[in-house]
C-alpha cells in the first residue's frame, strides 16, 4: 500500500470526524490538501470567491448541524481573509476548524513572500491555534484541534506549511474517533434549593431566555406556566423560544418590543436562562436576578447577579420543576401579554401595505417574506436594519431557522451564511434578508450561487444608505455623513451572474416578485427599493435620543437639507 502524505492523512482525519465539505479558495500552499480532497470519496471542496465567505459559510453549517465544519485559506492574505468569519463563529459558539496554509517551512522568519505569523494572528479568534512543523505531530495536533472546537463550541486553527503537508506521514490513519457529545451539566441540590426558594417567594417573575434554551422548549413552557412568568427572549434565542409560546412577550434590547422591556423592568425577580444578553441598560436595577448558564465565566458579566448557577438550561429546569410551587396570581403575566399584543398590533400596522402607498416600507417587505416563506425555511440576515426587520417580523415555528452575525455584528454575512445553509439542506428554502451595503461588500459570491448550483433566494433592502449607521448618527444629533450608497442595479447584476434578477420599485410589486423568486428553481434576487427615512424606534426612548434627533433636524435645516427633515417626518408621523 502506498504511503500517505500529511495532507491525505489530514483529509482522512476530517472524514473520520464526519466532515463532508471544506470551504475555501485554492492556492499553491493548499495544493496538497486540495489534491487530497479531489481524490477522496466523502469530502468535497466548496469553491467560493472570497475566503471570508468560506468562514461564514462554515459557521452557518456548524450552527445548523451542531457538527464540525471546516474552511481553509492559502498562505498570507488567503488565510487572513478567514478572520472575520472565524471571529463570528467563535463568538456564536459553533464548532469550526480553519486550515491556515503557510509559506514553506524553511522560509519562515525570512520575511518571505506572503509571510505572516498565523499562529499569533488567529489566537484571538480561536480556542486553539498551533503550527504543524513535523510529520510526527499529525494527526495528533489535528485531533486536538477538532476535539477543542467540539468541546468548547468554537474555532480551532491548524497552521500547515505547504511543504510539510506533502511530507510522508508517520501514521497512516486517524488515531481516534469523534463521538457526538451529549453531556448534561446540573447545579448541586443545594443550589437548586436556593433557586427554588427565591422563585417560590417572588410575586412577579420574568424569564429572559437566550440561545442556551435550544432543546429546552417544553421545559421552558412548563416553567413559565408554574411561575406565571412572561418570557422575554434575546435575539439569538428567538428561533428556540418564540414558537408555540403563550408566555411570549417579545424581545428586549435595541431591536426589541416595549412589552419585552416592560416585562423585565416590572418584575421583582428576573430569571436568566442561557443568555449573555449584552446591553446593561436594559436590565432591571431593583429586581433580584438569578442567572443559569453552562459557562460559569458568563455569570454576572452583564448585570449584578444575586444568585448564579452553572448548568445547561434543560437539565437545570427539569431539576427545578418538581420543587416549585405553582403560582395563582397571574396579573404580571396577563398584563405583560396584553402589552405584547398591543405592541405586536402596532408593529404590524407600521408595516403598511401596497394599497394607495407610493413608497415601500421595509417592514412590509419583511412581513411579506414571512407570509410567503416555507414552514421550514432557513433565513439569514445582514446586520443593521435587515436584522431589525427579521427580529420583528419573521415568525419562528420550531422548524424555521434564523442565522445572522448576532454576536460579532459583521456586515455581509447573509449571502455567505446562505451558501453554507443551502449546501447542508439542499431541499429547504434558504432566504436572505440582505442589506444593500452588506450584499455589495461580498457581492462576488453571487457567482458562487450559480457555480455551485444553489437555489438561494436573496431579498435586498435597497435604501441607498448604510441605514442603521445613519440612524445612529441622527440619534446622536449628528448630520449623517459617509453613509450614502450609489448602488448599481442589483437585479441586472444578478442577471449578469446567471441569477434571476427582479426589481420592485412600487409596493404592489413586492408580493408577486417575492413569490416569483421563491418559486424559481434556481438562485434568485429581488431588489426592493425601500424608504430610506424609516425610523426604528427602540423599546425605550431616552431623553438624549429625543434631543439628538431634534439637534439633527435643526442642523439639517441650517445646512440646506430641510427636505430630508420633511421626508423623515412624513414617513414616521403619518
Active site residues: 51, 113-114, 383, 468
Please name which of 415, 420, 257, 273 lies closest in space to residue 347, comparing C-alpha atoms.
257
Q: In whole angstroms, how far apart are CA 9 and each of 19, 97, 118, 371? A: 14, 16, 22, 48
d(CA 148, CA 142): 10
- List strand residue ranges (DSSP E) for 277-394, in order: 288-293, 307-310, 378-381
Edge-first strand order for the sheet with 21-24 is: 44-47, 21-24, 69-73, 96-102, 155-161, 128-131
d(CA 490, CA 509): 16
For residue 379, the cross-strand partners are 402, 431
CB distance 360 to 529 below 8 Å: yes
- Please calculate the CA angle 396-155-4 and round it to the nearest 5 degrees: 120
Please name which of 429, 63, 399 lies closest in space to residue 240, comparing C-alpha atoms.
399
> Hey, what's the cell of 242?
418564540
CB distance 394 to 402 below 8 Å: yes
Peptide bond between residue 49 and the one before it cis (omega within 30 degrees of 0):
no
d(CA 280, CA 456): 37
Q: How many residues does the chain have?
A: 574
Phi, psi of 371 (to 5 degrees): -70, -35
Phi, psi of 63 (to 5 degrees): -60, -45
Edge-first strand order for the sheet with 269-273 is: 248-251, 231-233, 205-209, 269-273, 288-293, 307-310
CB distance 70 to 40 below 8 Å: no
> Hey, what's the cell of 521?
428553481
Please name which of 506, 519, 524, 533 lies closest in space to residue 460, comparing C-alpha atoms.
524
**Inter-helix orientation angle 362-372/331-351, to 10°:** 110
d(CA 240, CA 286): 28
Phi, psi of 71 (to 5 degrees): -130, 165
Alpha-carbon torsion, ordered 510, 516, 519, 521, to 10 deg: -130
CB distance 517 to 500 below 8 Å: yes
CB neighbour list of residue 379: distance below 8 Å, 6 or more residues apart: 369, 373, 390, 394, 400, 401, 402, 403, 430, 431, 432, 433
Phi, psi of 432 (to 5 degrees): -100, 145
d(CA 244, CA 258): 21
Amino acid at each position: 500500500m502506498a504511503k500517505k502524505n500529511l495532507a491525505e492523512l489530514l483529509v482522512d482525519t476530517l472524514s473520520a470526524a464526519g466532515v463532508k465539505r471544506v470551504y475555501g479558495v485554492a492556492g499553491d500552499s493548499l495544493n496538497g490538501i486540495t489534491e487530497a480532497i479531489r481524490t477522496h470519496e466523502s469530502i468535497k471542496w466548496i469553491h467560493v470567491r472570497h475566503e471570508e465567505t468560506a468562514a461564514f459559510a462554515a459557521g452557518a453549517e456548524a450552527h445548523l448541524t451542531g457538527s464540525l465544519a471546516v474552511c481553509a485559506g492559502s498562505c498570507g492574505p488567503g488565510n487572513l481573509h478567514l478572520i472575520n468569519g472565524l471571529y463570528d463563529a467563535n463568538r456564536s459558539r459553533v464548532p469550526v476548524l480553519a486550515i491556515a496554509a503557510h509559506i514553506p517551512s524553511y522560509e519562515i522568519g525570512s520575511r518571505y513572500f506572503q509571510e505572516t505569523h498565523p499562529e499569533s494572528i488567529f489566537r484571538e479568534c480561536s480556542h486553539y491555534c498551533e503550527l504543524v512543523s513535523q510529520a510526527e505531530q499529525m494527526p495528533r495536533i489535528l485531533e486536538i484541534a477538532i476535539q477543542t472546537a467540539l468541546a468548547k463550541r468554537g474555532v480551532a486553527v491548524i497552521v500547515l506549511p505547504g511543504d510539510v503537508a506533502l511530507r510522508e506521514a508517520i501514521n497512516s490513519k486517524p488515531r481516534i474517533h469523534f463521538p457526538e457529545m451529549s453531556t448534561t451539566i446540573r447545579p448541586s441540590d443545594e443550589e437548586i434549593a436556593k433557586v427554588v426558594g427565591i422563585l417560590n417567594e417572588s410575586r412577579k417573575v420574568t424569564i429572559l431566555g437566550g440561545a442556551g434554551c435550544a432543546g429546552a422548549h417544553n421545559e421552558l413552557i412548563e416553567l413559565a406556566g408554574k411561575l406565571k412568568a412572561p418570557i422575554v427572549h434575546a435575539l439569538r434565542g428567538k428561533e428556540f423560544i418564540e414558537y408555540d409560546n403563550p408566555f411570549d412577550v417579545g424581545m428586549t434590547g435595541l431591536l426589541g418590543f416595549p412589552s419585552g422591556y416592560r416585562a423585565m423592568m416590572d418584575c421583582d425577580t428576573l430569571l436568566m436562562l442561557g443568555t449573555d444578553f449584552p446591553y446593561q441598560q436594559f436590565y432591571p436595577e431593583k429586581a433580584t436576578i438569578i442567572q443559569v448558564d453552562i459557562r460559569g465565566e458568563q455569570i454576572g458579566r452583564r448585570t449584578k447577579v444575586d444568585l448564579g448557577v452553572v448548568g445547561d438550561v434543560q437539565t437545570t429546569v427539569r431539576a427545578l420543576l418538581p420543587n416549585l410551587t405553582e403560582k395563582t396570581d397571574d396579573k404580571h403575566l396577563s398584563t405583560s401579554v396584553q402589552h405584547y399584543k398591543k405592541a405586536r398590533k402596532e408593529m404590524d400596522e407600521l408595516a403598511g401595505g401596497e394599497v394607495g402607498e407610493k413608497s415601500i416600507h421595509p417592514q412590509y417587505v419583511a412581513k411579506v417574506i414571512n407570509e410567503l416563506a416555507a414552514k421550514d425555511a432557513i433565513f439569514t440576515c445582514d446586520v443593521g436594519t435587515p436584522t431589525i426587520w427579521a427580529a420583528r417580523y419573521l415568525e419562528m415555528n420550531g422548524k424555521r431557522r434564523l442565522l445572522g452575525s448576532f454576536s460579532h455584528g459583521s456586515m455581509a454575512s447573509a449571502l455567505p451564511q446562505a451558501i453554507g445553509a443551502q449546501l447542508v439542506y439542499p431541499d429547504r428554502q434558504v432566504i436572505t434578508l440582505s442589506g444593500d451595503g452588506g450584499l455589495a461588500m461580498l457581492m462576488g459570491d453571487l457567482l458562487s450561487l450559480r457555480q455551485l448550483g444553489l437555489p438561494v433566494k436573496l431579498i435586498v433592502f435597497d435604501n441607498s444608505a448604510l441605514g442603521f449607521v445613519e440612524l445612529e448618527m441622527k440619534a446622536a444629533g449628528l448630520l449623517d455623513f459617509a453613509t450614502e450608497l450609489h448602488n448599481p442595479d442589483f437585479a441586472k447584476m444578478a442577471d449578469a451572474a446567471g441569477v434571476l434578477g427582479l426589481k420592485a420599485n412600487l409596493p404592489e410589486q413586492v408580493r408577486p416578485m417575492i413569490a416569483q423568486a421563491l418559486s424559481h428553481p434556481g438562485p434568485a434576487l429581488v431588489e426592493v427599493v425601500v424608504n430610506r427615512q424609516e425610523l426604528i424606534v427602540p423599546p425605550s426612548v431616552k431623553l438624549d435620543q429625543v434631543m439628538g434627533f431634534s439637534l439633527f433636524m435643526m442642523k439639517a435645516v441650517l445646512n440646506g437639507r430641510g427636505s430630508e427633515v420633511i421626508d423623515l417626518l412624513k414617513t414616521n408621523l403619518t
